[in-house]
Amino acid sequence: MTVRVRIAPSPTGFLHVGTARAALYNWLFARGRNGVFILRSDDTDSERNDPKYQQDIVTSLRWLGLDWHEGIDVGGPHAPYQQSLRSDRYREVAMDLLERGLAYYCFATPEQLDEFRRQAQAAGRTPAYDGRFRLESGVAAARVAAGEPAPIRLAVPRPGATTFHDAVRGEVTFDHAQVEDFVILRSDGSPTYHLASTVDDVDFEVTHVVRGEDILSSTPKHIILTEALGARPPVYAHLALLMGPDGKKLSKRHGHTALNAYRADGVLPEAMVNYLALLGWSPGEDETIVSLEEMVARFRLEDVTKNATIFDNDKLEWMNGVYIRELAVDDFVARATPLVEEHLGRALAVSEGEQLAAIAPHVQERAKRLTEVAEQVAFIFGDVEYDAASWEKVMTTPEAPTAIAAARAGLATLEDWNTPAIEAILRDMLEELELSARKGFQPLRVAVTGSTVSPPLFESIEVLGRDVALARLEAAATRLGAG
RNA sequence: GACCCGUUCGUCCAACGGCCAGGACACGAGGCUCUCAUCCUCGAGAUCGGGGUUCAAUUCCCCGACGGGUCGCCA
* A363 Cα distance to chain centroid: 25
pLDDT at A483: 52
Residue-wise pLDDT for A269-311, tens only, equals 999 999 999 999 999 778 899 999 999 999 999 999 999 999 9
The nucleotide minimizing the C1' distance to residue A110's CA is B73
What band does A322 get if pLDDT is binned at 50, 70 and 90?
very high
Q: CA A478, C1' B32: Å apart? A: 36
CATH 3.40.50.620 residue spans of chain A: 1-73+240-326, 86-239
Q: CA A193, C1' B56: Å apart? A: 51
Task: Please tell me which residue lies nearest to nucleotide B26, judged from CA to C1'.
Answer: A314
Sequence-separated contacts (24+) of A387-396 with Cβ below 8 Å: A387/A446, A387/A450, A387/A451, A387/A452, A390/A446, A390/A450, A390/A451, A390/A452, A390/A453, A391/A446, A393/A442, A393/A452, A394/A442, A394/A443, A394/A445, A394/A446, A394/A452, A395/A443, A395/A446, A395/A447, A395/A476, A395/A480
CATH 1.10.8 residue spans of chain A: 327-378
Task: Please tell me which residue lies nearest to nucleotide B35, judged from CA to C1'.
Answer: A453
Residue of A252, A306, A368, A393 marked catalytic: A252
pLDDT at A36: 98
Q: CA A285, C1' B52: Å apart? A: 33
Exposed e or buried b per residue across A49-70, where buried means at least 16 C-beta atoms within 10 angstroms of its C-beta: beeebbebbbebbebbebebeb
**Is A306 noted as a catalytic residue in this protein?**
no
Output the average pLDDT for chain A. 95
pLDDT at A285: 77
Average pLDDT over residues A303-326: 96
Flag whether pLDDT at A55 surpasses 60. Answer: yes
The nucleotide minimizing the C1' distance to residue A248's CA is B68
End-to-end CA distance of chain A: 80
Is residue A113 within 8 A of residue A145, CB to CB? The reply is no
Flag whether pLDDT at A472 surpasses 90. Answer: yes
Task: Please tell me which residue lies nearest to nucleotide B11, judged from CA to C1'.
Answer: A312
Residue-wise pLDDT for A119-136, tens only, equals 999 999 999 999 999 999
Helix axes A437-449, A399-412, angle to 10 degrees: 70
What band does A457 get if pLDDT is binned at 50, 70 and 90?
very high
Q: CA A267, C1' B45: Å apart? A: 30
What band does A100 get if pLDDT is binned at 50, 70 and 90?
very high
Is residue A20 within 8 A of residue A60, CB to CB? The reply is yes
Taking the C-alpha atoms of residue A242 and residue A260, their distance in angstroms, rounded to an integer, is 17
pLDDT at A299: 96
Of A320, A243, A236, A318, the residue nearest A279 (C-alpha) = A243
Flag whether pLDDT at A94 surpasses 70. Answer: yes
Average pLDDT over residues A360-370: 96
* CATH architecture designation of domain A327-378: Orthogonal Bundle (1.10)
Average pLDDT over residues A185-192: 95
* CATH architecture designation of domain A383-483: Orthogonal Bundle (1.10)
Protein contacts on strand B: list nucleotides below 7 Å from a Cβ.
1-8, 10-16, 22-26, 33-39, 67-75
Tell me: ipTM over 0.90. Answer: yes
What band does A482 get if pLDDT is binned at 50, 70 and 90?
low
Calculate the alpha carbon distances from A187 to A10, A184, A195, A462 in Å. 21, 10, 14, 73
The nucleotide minimizing the C1' distance to residue A451's CA is B35
What band does A240 get if pLDDT is binned at 50, 70 and 90?
very high
- Looking only at the bridges linking them, the beta strands covering A170-175 and A183-185 are unpaired
The nucleotide minimizing the C1' distance to residue A47's CA is B74
pLDDT at A47: 84
Q: CA A436, C1' B23: Å apart? A: 40
pLDDT at A73: 93
Residue-wise pLDDT for A161-172, tens only, equals 999 999 999 999
pLDDT > 90: what percent of chain A?
A: 93
Q: CA A166, C1' B58: Å apart? A: 23
The nucleotide minimizing the C1' distance to residue A114's CA is B72
Flag whether pLDDT at A246 surpasses 80. Answer: yes
Flag whether pLDDT at A234 surpasses 80. Answer: yes
Flag whether pLDDT at A82 surpasses 90. Answer: yes
Task: Please tell me which residue lies nearest to nucleotide B38, judged from CA to C1'.
Answer: A365
Q: CA A428, C1' B53: Å apart? A: 77
CATH fold for the domain made of A86-239: Rossmann fold (3.40.50)
CATH 1.10.10.350 residue spans of chain A: 383-483
Calculate the alpha carbon distances from A107 to A10, A31, A95, A135, A480 in Å. 29, 47, 17, 7, 85
* CATH architecture designation of domain A1-73+240-326: 3-Layer(aba) Sandwich (3.40)
pLDDT at A80: 96
Flag whether pLDDT at A253 surpasses 90. Answer: no
Strand partners, A242: A309
